[in-house]
C-alpha cells in the first residue's frame, strides 16, 4: 500500500510538470484527485492493510492528498501568470489614449498676433534677451537721467549687460543691420524686477512693430493698428490714441483698443506708439530727409488676459496644467 502511494505521488508530480494548459490541468485533477481518480482508487486496498500499520498508511494517504492538492494550486497559479494560456494580442483592442498637449496660452496669443501682422506684410525679427545699455536705452534716445534707467527698475548684470526691459531694442538692431525700407514686428520676453502680484511679473512679453518708409504718418500707424484690432478682436473693435511721450517717438501716443470683454465692448490700454524720433534715425545714420517711420509696442500678457478673461498674470507662469488646459 505504501509503495502504491509513493508511485502514485511520483507519477502525479512528474505528469503535472508537463501540463501546460488549464484544460490539461483539469484532466490531471480528474485523473488523480477526482471521485473516480487514482487516489480514490487505492482506498479499497486499505482493508488489506494490517491493523497495526493502518495509522501510518492513513497518515501517508493524507500526505499524498495534500501534496497533490498543493501541486495543483501551484501549477494553476503558474499557468494563470504565464502567457501560454492567454489569448494572443488582440489587434482590435482600442489603443491607449495619447496626451497630445497644446500650445501655451501665451504662445497661442503670440501666434495669433503674428499671423495678423504677417498678412499685413510685416516680417518677424528677433533680438537677444541679454542686452547692452546702448540698445536698451542710448540708441532709443533715452537719456542717462531718465527714470526708466533706475537700477531698481532693471536687471543690470554688470559689464554693460542687462536683461532687456523692452522689445524696442530690436528696432535698433534691425535698423543697424538692414537698410530701409523696413517692416517688421519683434515678439519676445522682457524683464523688469517688479514685485509679483495679479498684474505684475518680472518677465513678460511684448510685440514691437517698426515701419520705415519714405513717407509715414500717424494715419498709417493708426490704420495699421486699426486693421490689426478688427482682425484680431473682431469687426466691432476700435483703436483710440491718447497723447503721450516716449523718448524714441515724436509724436507719441498711448494705444487703447476696444475689445469684447465678458460680452461687452470696452476700451482697454494695450501699448504705446508713435513716429520714430529723428534723434533715433540720426544716431543710426539714417537720412531724416529721406526716411520716416512709425513704431508701436503691445503687451502680450495684457492682450491674452483680456481676451481670455484671466484675472492673475501669475497663473500664466505657474505651469499648473489644470489652468493651462482650459485654453
Ligand atoms: N517700449 C515701450 C514700453 O515698454 C512701449 C513702446 C512705446 C514701444 C512706444 C514702441 C513705441 O515702439 O513706439 O513701455
Task: Compute the average pLDDT of residues 215-239.
Answer: 97
Is residue 99, in this structure, part of any structural domain at all? no
Select from 54, 86, 118 the last residue of a domain: 86
Q: 40-44, 165-169, 292-296: lowest mean pLDDT where?
A: 40-44
Distance 273 CA to ligand 1 centre (A): 6
Mark whether 301 and 162 lie in a shared domain. yes
Q: pLDDT higher for 82 or 135? A: 135
Distance 121 CA to ligand 1 centre (A): 21
Q: Is 277 in the pocket of ligand 1 (CB under 6 A)?
A: no
Q: Which residue of 254, 272, 281 sits with most ligand 1 atoms within 8 Å of its CB, as the best mutation to test the pocket?
A: 272
Mark whether 65 and 122 lie in a shared domain. no
For the cut 80, the answer to whether the pLDDT of residue 249 exceeds it is yes
Question: Buried b vs exposed e over 209-244: b needs ≥16 C-beta within 10 Å?
Answer: bbbbeeebeeebbbebbebbbbbbbeeebebbbeee
Task: Compute the average pLDDT of residues 99-120.
Answer: 95
State whether the Cα torsion 140-142-144-148 is positive or negative: negative
Q: Is 184 in the pocket of ligand 1 (CB under 6 A)?
A: no
CA distance 60 to 67: 10
In which domain, by residue range, is 66 found?
2-86
For the cut 90, the answer to whether the pLDDT of residue 45 exceeds it is no
Distance 217 CA to ligand 1 centre (A): 17
* Residue 304 and residue 323 in contact, taking contact as beta carbons nearer than 8 Å: no
For the cut 90, the answer to whether the pLDDT of residue 61 exceeds it is no
- Ligand 1 nearest atom to the CA of residue 276, by list position: 13
* pTM listed for this prediction: 0.73
Q: CATH number of the domain at 290, please.
A: 3.30.930.10
Reported confidence tier of residue 293, pLDDT bands at 50, 70, 90: very high
**Grid cell locating 192:** 523688469
Mark whether 68 and 113 lie in a shared domain. no
Distance 44 CA to ligand 1 centre (A): 106
Is residue 97, in this structure, part of any structural domain at all? no
Mark whether 171 and 254 lie in a shared domain. yes
pLDDT value at residue 206: 98
pLDDT value at residue 246: 98
Select from 86, 117, 149 the last residue of a domain: 86
Residue 14, CA distances (Å) to 29, 46, 195, 276 in order: 13, 25, 79, 96
Could you count the other beta carbons within 10 Å of the beta carbon of residue 281? Answer: 20
Is residue 169, in this structure, part of any structural domain at all? yes
The proportion of the chain whose per-residue pLDDT surpasses 90, expressed as a percent, equals 69
Is residue 93, in this structure, part of any structural domain at all? no
Distance 296 CA to ligand 1 centre (A): 6
CA distance 214 to 208: 20
The proportion of the chain whose per-residue pLDDT surpasses 70, expressed as a percent, equals 98
Reported confidence tier of residue 87, pLDDT bands at 50, 70, 90: low
Mark whether 170 and 296 lie in a shared domain. yes
Q: What angle do CA 204, 205, 206 make, to 5 degrees?
A: 135
pLDDT value at residue 93: 86
State whether the Cα torsion 60-65-66-71 is positive or negative: positive
For the cut 70, the answer to whether the pLDDT of residue 266 exceeds it is yes
Q: Is 191 in the pocket of ligand 1 (CB under 6 A)?
A: no
Q: Is 273 in the pocket of ligand 1 (CB under 6 A)?
A: yes
pLDDT value at residue 92: 87
Tally of domains in the chain: 2
Distance 45 CA to ligand 1 centre (A): 107
CA distance 308 to 133: 35
Mark whether 186 and 269 lie in a shared domain. yes
Amino acid at each position: 500500500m505504501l509503495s502504491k502511494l509513493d508511485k502514485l505521488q511520483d507519477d502525479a508530480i512528474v505528469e503535472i510538470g508537463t501540463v501546460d494548459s488549464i484544460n490539461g490541468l483539469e484532466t490531471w485533477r480528474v485523473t488523480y484527485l477526482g471521485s473516480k481518480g487514482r487516489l480514490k482508487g487505492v482506498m479499497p486496498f486499505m482493508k488489506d492493510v494490517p491493523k497495526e500499520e493502518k495509522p501510518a498508511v492513513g497518515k501517508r494517504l493524507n500526505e499524498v492528498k495534500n501534496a497533490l492538492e498543493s501541486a495543483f494550486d501551484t501549477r494553476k497559479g503558474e499557468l494563470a501568470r504565464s502567457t501560454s494560456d492567454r489569448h494572443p494580442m488582440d489587434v482590435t483592442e482600442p489603443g491607449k489614449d495619447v496626451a497630445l498637449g497644446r500650445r501655451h496660452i501665451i504662445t497661442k496669443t503670440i501666434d495669433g498676433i503674428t499671423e495678423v501682422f504677417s498678412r499685413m506684410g510685416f516680417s518677424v525679427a528677433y533680438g537677444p534677451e541679454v542686452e547692452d545699455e546702448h540698445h536698451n536705452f542710448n540708441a532709443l534716445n533715452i537719456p542717462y537721467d531718465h527714470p526708466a534707467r533706475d537700477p531698481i527698475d532693471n536687471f543690470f548684470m554688470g559689464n554693460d549687460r542687462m536683461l532687456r526691459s523692452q522689445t524696442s531694442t530690436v528696432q535698433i538692431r534691425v535698423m543697424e543691420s538692414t537698410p530701409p525700407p523696413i517692416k517688421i514686428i519683434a515678439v519676445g520676453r522682457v524683464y523688469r524686477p517688479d514685485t509679483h502680484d495679479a498684474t505684475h511679473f518680472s518677465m513678460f512679453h511684448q510685440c514691437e512693430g517698426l515701419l520705415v518708409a519714405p513717407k509715414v504718418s500717424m494715419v498709417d500707424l493708426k490704420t495699421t493698428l486699426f486693421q490689426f484690432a478688427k482682425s484680431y478682436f473682431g469687426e466691432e473693435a476700435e483703436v483710440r490714441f491718447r497723447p503721450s511721450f516716449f523718448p524714441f517717438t515724436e509724436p507719441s501716443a498711448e494705444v487703447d483698443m476696444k475689445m469684447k470683454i465678458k460680452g461687452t465692448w470696452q476700451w482697454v490700454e494695450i501699448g504705446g506708439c508713435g513716429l520714430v524720433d529723428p534723434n533715433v534715425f540720426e544716431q543710426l545714420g539714417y537720412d531724416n530727409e529721406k526716411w520716416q517711420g512709425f513704431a508701436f509696442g503691445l503687451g502680450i500678457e495684457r492682450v491674452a488676459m483680456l481676451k481670455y478673461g484671466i484675472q492673475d498674470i501669475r497663473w500664466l507662469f505657474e505651469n499648473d496644467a489644470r489652468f493651462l488646459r482650459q485654453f
